[in-house]
């Protein structure tokens, strides 16, 4: 049974089928992946003393978001997918804080912060919507 991108993006897949979903077809995964690329570019100019601190934290929690979406899609059923989407939501909130801290410490110029924060909020809205959709389908 082929599912459209719209169905995948909105979590409309039959629970009974228990087929793995292709994470690459989820728009939210694409947004999260782009955010990782942005995070790597932004942290490239952070001070060297932050390589194992702020730089590492931002890179790890940003890459955790699409990685958890992918892992959830690789599990059987919406219950597991829901759990990994919740973990991705937590990583997104952690990333939001680290970008704020980087701005306040002067590592991230205000304009760059505003741009990445907007990108992050858009992705978080999509991720929360998908998480809620998957949760509602678990109860059906």
**Higher-confidence residue: 26 or 10?**
26
Q: What is the pLDDT of residues 63-88, one digit of tens each?
A: 999 999 999 999 888 899 999 999 99
The model's confidence at residue 89, banded by pLDDT at 50, 70 and 90, is: very high
How many whole angstroms separate alpha carbon 2 and alpha carbon 128?
25
**5 has a pLDDT exceeding 60:** no
Please give the pLDDT value at position 6. 45
Could you tell me where the DSSP H helices lie in the chain? 5-9, 27-43, 54-73, 78-104, 110-138
Task: Evaluate whether 30 touches 126 at the Cβ level (below 8 Å).
Answer: no
How many whole angstroms separate alpha carbon 16 and alpha carbon 93?
32
- Whole-model pTM: value is 0.84
For domain 21-138, give the CATH superfamily: 23S rRNA-intervening sequence (1.20.1440.60)
Mean pLDDT value across residues 36-41: 98
Percent of the chain with pLDDT over 90: 79
Mean pLDDT (the chain) is 89
Task: Evaluate whether 56 touches 126 at the Cβ level (below 8 Å).
Answer: no
Would you list the domain boundaries of the chain?
21-138
């Amino acid at each position: 049974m082929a599912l459209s991108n719209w169905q995948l993006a909105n979590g409309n897949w039959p629970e009974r089928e228990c087929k793995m979903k292709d994470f690459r077809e989820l728009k939210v995964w694409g947004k999260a992946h782009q955010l990782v690329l942005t995070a790597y570019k932004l942290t490239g100019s952070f001070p060297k003393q932050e390589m194992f601190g702020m730089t590492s934290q931002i890179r790890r929690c940003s890459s955790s978001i699409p990685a958890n979406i992918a892992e959830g899609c690789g599990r059987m059923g919406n219950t597991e997918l829901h759990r990994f989407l919740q973990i991705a939501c937590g990583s997104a909130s952690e990333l939001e804080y680290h970008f704020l801290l980087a701005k306040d410490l002067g590592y991230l110029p205000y304009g760059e912060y505003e741009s990445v924060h907007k990108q992050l909020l858009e992705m978080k809205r999509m991720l929360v919507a998908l998480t809620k959709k998957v949760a509602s389908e678990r109860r059906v």
